[in-house]
Amino acid sequence: MTPVVKQARVRHTSAPADASGWIPPNAPMQHTLEGTVDLVVQIVRADAGFRLQWIGAESEFSGEHWYAELPYAEHAAEELFGISSTHWERPPREC
């Protein structure tokens, strides 16, 4: 089991990005999901670094990014999900 360093629960609202002006004409458009979802956001030790992962009820609202150092993962969590340093919860205990 991968050790969880930090965890937070957030309600996240996603909206499609405005791609006008930089997508070439007739280019295929990627569908961006819209909505408000509850997520569990975790920072876990992985692959000689840290993985910021978010888990939603549907896989379409889940994902991950890898960072070499913990402060980078924490910064990304704040930028992507608004998780400040005081918002983190105690991680779950490993069995």
d(CA 49, CA 68): 4
Which has more pLDDT, 1 or 5?
5
Is the pLDDT at 92 greater than 80, yes or no? no
Specify the pLDDT at position 88: 95
d(CA 3, CA 94): 7
Rounded mean pLDDT, 28-36:
64
Question: What mean pLDDT, rounded, does the chain reach?
Answer: 84
Q: What percent of the chain has pLDDT over 70?
A: 78
Q: Where are the alpha helices (DSSP H) in the chain?
A: 70-81
The domain spans of the chain are 1-15+33-95
How confident is residue 86, by pLDDT bands cut at 50, 70 and 90?
Answer: very high
Taking only the tens place, the pLDDT of each residue in 58-75 is: 887 889 999 999 999 999
